[in-house]
Amino acid sequence: MPPAITVLLDLPADNDFHRATLAALDHAIGAAGRAVEVRVVGTDAIGDVGDGVVMGPGTPYRDPDAAEDVITLARERGLPLVGT
């Protein structure tokens, strides 16, 4: 099973920042030559964060407390976390 990266994005899929974030991830994954599962979820629907987290652009988040909880979880578990 490939590693899973969770992208927290509350922006609509047609938003320029949303598309650019996913395009940048696709580019990085392709350059690394690895299989990676990318999960895009809103802050109001966070489940398992997987093996790393990207905090997408577009604050304020719909659920800022959940976004903060994910940051804390990543820190406590030693998961990679990227904020945009």
Query: Does 1 fall in a domain?
Result: no
* Residue 78, domain member (yes or no): yes
How far is C-alpha 15 from the chain's CA centre? 16
Which of 16, 29, 3 shows the shortest CA–CA distance to 56?
16
Structural domain harbouring 77: 7-83
User: Is residue 2 in some structural domain?
Assistant: no
The structural domain count of the chain equals: 1
pTM value > 0.85: yes
Distances, alpha carbon 79 to alpha carbons 38, 49, 54, 63, 82, in Å: 15, 9, 11, 21, 10
- Over its length of 84 residues, how does the chain's per-residue pLDDT go in tens digits? 899 999 999 988 899 999 999 999 999 999 999 999 999 999 989 888 999 999 988 778 899 999 999 999 999 999 999 987
In a domain, 43, yes or no: yes
